[in-house]
């Protein structure tokens, strides 16, 4: 450092202390920065791992077998996972090595600074003591000199007074004092001389030996600190280097995989596997039953030209010709000026003649398929073909008519249907006129009129038949039912159905969430009505399966009636009944028809049938009650969902019921039903007499034997074995979420966090995660599998044998997590056998693949129990 010989001054000393303080501040800054880097690296590793897992979800897609793109993508995501592990390992190495070394270096540097300051202060104090000693000795010398001078003067004075005898008592006394003063002076002189020599040598020693040695020691310590510091920086550089061999190997593997992709092999295996002959053309045939009752006026596959349709046909032809012209212009723009029509060149001698806008009048143009062309061009040609075919049919129909007047296509109905009132029974006395025709024609007319004229209460349509004239033998409309001509014979609407309240309708599913509704609607025409809340207002929604799931809000008129696009009705039941019976789409745009009402499932209960008795607990979403079913008198447990919760949380609440409804096992709490007809939503389950396992263990387990505790563990393992076979991950297995029934049987409960997947990735944070029960891979990477439940099961076993103690007692969540990552495992509870504790340790293996599955756990515990 160069200050051993030139840095002995006070200014250099102060500068050195300031430099050491600055070094310590720099170390502290580096420490905070490294901690932030390690945190960001861990978070990046976690995010990268989550991205890799997300990307690997397509691995199990059988449709992609043989895809070289999927294979390359799989390799890429696997290498992302490897990169994530490498980054995480580097971050942990930085923490365990570089950061620890830096902290140790800071501690040593503080100690060295303190020792230097103490040694320098000691040397400085020695300089000060020497100076003070010399000053003191000099003062003594001065005093002795003054005393000597006084005694000498007195002696000379007395001596001069007695020159003859040179004696006398007074002279002797004076001589004696003078002698003493002379001796003191000489002694002080000698001491002063010796002290100066000592001080000179001491000063030289401190200045040329001690202080340089101290400074030289600081230089060596500083160099050693810098060397260690450099080592730490080298470690940081190495752990932050993405160009190391390991990273380059990963990148090289990904690059080579992608570069070696052969696009021509992408569909090779797929085409070999799914070789098949060309598909059979689909034939569209006219349904001749549609024209059976038209008295021959309408013919299958023929356009009808009469006074009702001729103007429309002419307008339609003009519209089609305009579309064809526009289509040709678009094709020309795509292909170039030399291409017209269907790709036929202008100079083609066999080109189209006698055509309108370049389109053959008599045959639709072919669609070329030999040359690959843009999809937009192909779409235009398909559209052109459709328009040309329709134009050809209309021209042919109009050509047959020639110059003759169009025949009448509308019979005089004035004598057959007196008025609209006869349709709903308000004018039953009209009996004049000819018969309208077949029953199908009358039904069709009735539906048409009701679609354009606001009807009277819908049930009147079903209780009063049409009044027909001179057709006494023709059966009237049945008084109790009405059946749509487009539906099967079993799909009818009864008067009792329209008169029942909305809650009593089997197709009303209350506040069942949209996700649950979608699972119920499977075939086109399936429908149900549900209730939802939007902007704090209650709305009724009609959900229909029609190609996809469609949801229509039931509109309310100012008069309090209900409608969609057509007529309004006094009740939702009448609106739905008419909509189904008429065969009219719910909306013209959707085209959705109502064909089959989806009734409530057996597990959908009526809220009014559940009588709440006593509050027995509180959950994340609401209170838990002891209740009674009014229909059977059975006592049950009911979880309620607070009305004010957001829809997302209500869906999460119902998820537990959706999962439980399909499970039947003695060690799984049984679902009785879900009440969603109105708020609050309720999950109704069997009432388990013993309550929470955790409370049971803390209050009553003192009297239980080890064999009884082992039986509880076996019950829990049996329930979890069943869930594992169903690919259900519980994610919150703990004593607080188990119940104790008769004969101390344990039942798994609380499925609010459960997921029906082989693997589940959390991406929304860890706020609700029970840290001390959760496996390390779930905490570090958000990855859940059934083996995470195995870790939690090990903690549950520990809770059972410790009779309700708190796991990792005295540790915070973060401290427990840190110690687990460092290899700590809870000791065996008192009275726990070695076999049982060995199973706990197997459940707590850090690597998931080393843990046993639940069918193995059950076998082990059953063997120990029966031993």
Per-residue pLDDT tens digits for 599-643:
887 778 888 889 898 888 887 788 889 999 988 888 999 989 888
Q: Report the distance separating Cα 538 and Cα 532, nearest Å.
A: 6
pLDDT tier at 863, thresholds 50, 70, 90: very high
Q: Average pLDDT of 132-150? A: 90
CA distances from 170 to 146, 163, 164, 540 (A): 21, 13, 15, 139
618 marked among binding-site residues? yes
- Does the pLDDT at position 846 exceed 90? yes
Cα angle for residues 275, 278, 283 (degrees, 5° grid): 145
639 marked among binding-site residues? yes
Residues 84-134: tens digit of each pLDDT? 888 888 888 888 888 888 888 888 888 888 888 888 888 788 878 888 888
Active site residues: 732
- Does the pLDDT at position 356 exceed 50? no
User: What local confidence, expressed as pLDDT, does residue 702 receive?
Assistant: 79
Residue with the two structure tokens 């002795």: 144
621 marked among binding-site residues? yes
DSSP state of 99: I
Query: Which has the higher per-residue pLDDT, 369 or 621?
Result: 621
User: What local confidence, expressed as pLDDT, does residue 439 receive?
Assistant: 39
User: What local confidence, expressed as pLDDT, does residue 859 receive?
Assistant: 94
Q: Report the distance separating Cα 49 and Cα 80, nearest Å.
A: 7
User: What local confidence, expressed as pLDDT, does residue 410 receive?
Assistant: 53
Residues 475-509: tens digit of each pLDDT? 333 333 444 333 433 444 554 556 677 877 888 88
Q: Average pLDDT of 307-331? A: 85
Least confident among 268-282, 439-453, 569-583, 629-643: 439-453
User: What local confidence, expressed as pLDDT, does residue 369 receive?
Assistant: 42
- Does the pLDDT at position 594 exceed 90? yes
Q: Report the distance separating Cα 696 and Cα 737, nearest Å.
A: 12
862 marked among binding-site residues? no
Residue with the two structure tokens 């006129």: 433
- CATH architecture, domain 604-686: 2-Layer Sandwich (3.30)
CA distances from 863 to 127, 840, 845 (A): 84, 15, 21
Q: Report the distance separating Cα 774 and Cα 788, nearest Å.
A: 7
Structure tokens at 765: 């944070």
| Secondary structure E strands in 285-350 | 339-340, 344-345
User: What local confidence, expressed as pLDDT, does residue 336 receive?
Assistant: 58
Pick 10-239's CATH classification: 3.40.50.300, 1.20.120.1200, 1.10.760.10, 1.20.1270.60: 1.20.1270.60
Domain covering 412-428+436-595, topology: SHC Adaptor Protein (3.30.505)
Residues 58-71: tens digit of each pLDDT? 655 667 777 788 88
Q: Average pLDDT of 735-761? A: 78
Cis peptide before 18 (omega within 30 of 0): no
Q: Are strands 682-686 and 671-675 parallel, antiparallel or unpaired?
A: antiparallel
> Is residue 493 within 8 Å of 515, Cβ to Cβ?
no
Residues 380-422: tens digit of each pLDDT? 888 888 888 888 888 887 776 654 456 666 544 333 332 333 3
- Does the pLDDT at position 473 exceed 60? no
pLDDT tier at 526, thresholds 50, 70, 90: very high
Query: Which has the higher per-residue pLDDT, 307 or 705?
Result: 705
- Does the pLDDT at position 450 exceed 80? no
User: What local confidence, expressed as pLDDT, does residue 554 receive?
Assistant: 92
Structure tokens at 261: 């992709």
Q: 443 in helix, strand or coil?
A: helix
Sign of CA dihedral 9, 10, 13, 19: negative
Average pLDDT of the chain to the nearest whole number: 77
Cα angle for residues 755, 756, 761 (degrees, 5° grid): 50
pTM of the model: 0.42
pLDDT tier at 350, thresholds 50, 70, 90: very low
Q: Does 694-866 carry CATH code 1.10.645.10?
A: no
Q: Average pLDDT of 28-44? A: 89
619 marked among binding-site residues? yes
- Does the pLDDT at position 264 exceed 80? no
pLDDT tier at 833, thresholds 50, 70, 90: very high
DSSP states along 514-544: HHHHHHH--STTEEEEEEEEETTEEEEEEEE
Phi/psi at 488 (5° precision): -70, 170
* Percent of the chain residues topping a pLDDT of 90: 20
Least confident among 11-15, 186-190, 489-493, 791-795: 489-493
DSSP states along 175-223: HHHHHHHHHHHHHHHHHHHHHHHHHHHHHHHIIIIIHHHHHHHHHHHHH
386 marked among binding-site residues? no
Query: Which has the higher per-residue pLDDT, 481 or 149?
Result: 149
Residues 651-706: tens digit of each pLDDT? 778 777 777 777 889 999 988 888 887 788 899 988 988 888 999 999 988 788 99
pLDDT tier at 290, thresholds 50, 70, 90: confident
296 marked among binding-site residues? no
User: What local confidence, expressed as pLDDT, does residue 408 receive?
Assistant: 60
CA distances from 148 to 41, 157, 186 (A): 86, 14, 10
Q: Report the distance separating Cα 678 and Cα 512, nearest Å.
A: 9
């Amino acid at each position: 450092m160069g200050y051993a010989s030139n840095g002995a001054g006070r200014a250099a000393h102060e500068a050195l202390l300031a430099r050491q303080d600055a070094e310590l501040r720099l170390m502290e800054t580096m420490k905070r920065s490294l901690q932030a880097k390690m945190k960001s690296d861990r978070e990046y590793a976690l995010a990268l791992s989550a991205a890799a897992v997300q990307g690997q979800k397509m691995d199990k897609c059988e449709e992609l077998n043989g895809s070289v793109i999927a294979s390359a993508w799989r390799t890429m995501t696997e290498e992302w996972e490897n990169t994530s592990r490498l980054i995480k390992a580097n971050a942990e190495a930085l923490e365990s090595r570089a950061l620890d070394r830096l902290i140790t270096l800071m501690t040593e540097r503080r100690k060295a600074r303190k020792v230097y300051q103490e040694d320098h202060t000691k040397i400085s104090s020695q300089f000060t003591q020497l100076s003070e000693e010399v000053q003191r000795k000099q003062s003594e010398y001065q005093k002795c000199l003054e005393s000597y001078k006084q005694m000498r003067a007195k002696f000379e004075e007395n001596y001069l007074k007695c020159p003859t005898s040179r004696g006398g008592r007074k002279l002797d006394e004076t001589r004696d004092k003078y002698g003493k003063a002379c001796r003191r002076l000489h002694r002080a002189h000698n001491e002063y001389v010796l002290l100066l020599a000592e001080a000179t040598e001491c000063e030289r020693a401190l200045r040329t030996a001690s202080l340089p040695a101290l400074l030289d020691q600081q230089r060596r310590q500083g160099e050693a600190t810098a060397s260690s510091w450099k080592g730490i920086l080298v470690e940081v550089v190495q752990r932050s280097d993405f160009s190391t061999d390991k990273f380059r190997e990963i990148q090289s593997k990904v690059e080579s995989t992608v570069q070696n992709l052969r696009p021509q092999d992408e569909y090779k295996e797929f085409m070999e596997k799914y070789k098949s002959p060309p598909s059979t053309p689909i034939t569209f045939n006219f349904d001749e039953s549609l024209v059976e009752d038209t008295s021959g006026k309408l013919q299958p596959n023929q356009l009808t030209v009469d006074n009702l349709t001729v103007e429309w046909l002419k307008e339609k032809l003009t519209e089609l010709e305009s579309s064809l012209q526009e289509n040709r212009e678009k094709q020309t723009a795509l292909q170039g000026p030399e291409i017209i029509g269907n790709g036929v060149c202008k100079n083609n001698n066999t080109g189209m003649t006698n055509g309108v806008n370049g389109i053959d009048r008599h045959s639709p143009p072919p669609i070329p398929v030999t040359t690959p062309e843009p999809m937009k061009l192909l779409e235009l040609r398909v559209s052109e073909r459709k328009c040309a075919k329709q134009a050809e049919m209309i021209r042919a129909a109009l050509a047959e008519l020639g110059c003759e007047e169009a025949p009448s296509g509308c019979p005089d109905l004035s004598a057959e249907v007196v008025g609209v009132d006869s349709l709903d029974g308000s004018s039953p006395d009209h009996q004049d006129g000819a018969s309208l025709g077949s029953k199908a024609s009358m039904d069709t007319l009735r539906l048409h009129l009701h679609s354009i004229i606001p009807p009277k209460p819908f049930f009147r349509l079903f209780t009063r038949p049409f009044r027909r004239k001179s057709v006494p033998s023709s059966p009237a409309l049945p008084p109790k039912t009405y059946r749509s001509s487009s539906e099967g014979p079993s799909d009818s609407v009864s008067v009792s159905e329209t008169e029942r309240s909305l809650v009593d309708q089997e197709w009303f599913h209350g506040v069942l969430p949209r996700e649950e509704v979608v699972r119920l609607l499977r075939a086109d025409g399936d429908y149900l009505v549900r209730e939802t809340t939007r902007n704090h207002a209650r709305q009724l929604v009609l959900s229909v399966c029609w190609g996809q799931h469609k949801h229509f809000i039931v509109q309310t008129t100012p008069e309090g009636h209900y409608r969609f696009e057509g007529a309004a009705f006094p009740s939702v039941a009448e609106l739905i009944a008419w909509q189904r019976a008429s065969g009219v789409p719910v909306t013209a745009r959707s085209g959705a028809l109502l064909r089959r009402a989806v009734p409530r499932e057996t597990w959908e209960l009526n809220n009014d049938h559940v009588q709440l008795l006593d509050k027995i607990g509180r959950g994340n979403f609401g209170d838990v009650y002891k209740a009674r079913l009014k229909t059977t008198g059975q006592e049950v447990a009911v979880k309620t969902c607070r009305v004010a919760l957001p829809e997302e949380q209500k869906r999460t609440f119902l998820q537990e019921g959706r999962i439980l409804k399909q499970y039947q096992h003695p060690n799984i709490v049984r679902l009785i039903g879900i009440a969603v007809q109105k708020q609050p939503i309720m999950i109704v389950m069997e009432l388990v007499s013993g309550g929470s396992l955790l409370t049971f263990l803390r209050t009553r387990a003192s009297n239980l034997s080890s064999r009884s505790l082992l039986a509880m563990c076996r019950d829990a393992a049996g329930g979890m074995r069943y869930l594992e076979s169903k690919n259900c991950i519980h994610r919150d297995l703990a004593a607080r979420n188990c119940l104790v029934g008769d004969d101390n049987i344990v039942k798994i409960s609380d499925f609010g966090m459960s997921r029906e997947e082989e693997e589940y990735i959390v991406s929304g944070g860890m706020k609700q995660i029970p840290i001390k029960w959760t496996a390390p891979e779930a905490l570090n990477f958000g990855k859940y599998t059934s083996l995470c439940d195995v870790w939690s099961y090990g903690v549950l076993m520990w809770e059972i044998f410790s009779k309700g103690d708190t796991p990792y007692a005295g540790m915070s969540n973060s401290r427990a997590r840190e110690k687990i990552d460092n290899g700590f495992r809870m000791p065996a509870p008192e009275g726990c056998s070695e076999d049982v504790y060995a199973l706990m340790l197997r459940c707590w293996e850090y690597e998931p693949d080393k843990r046993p599955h639940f069918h193995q756990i059950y076998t082990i515990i059953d063997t120990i129990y029966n031993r």
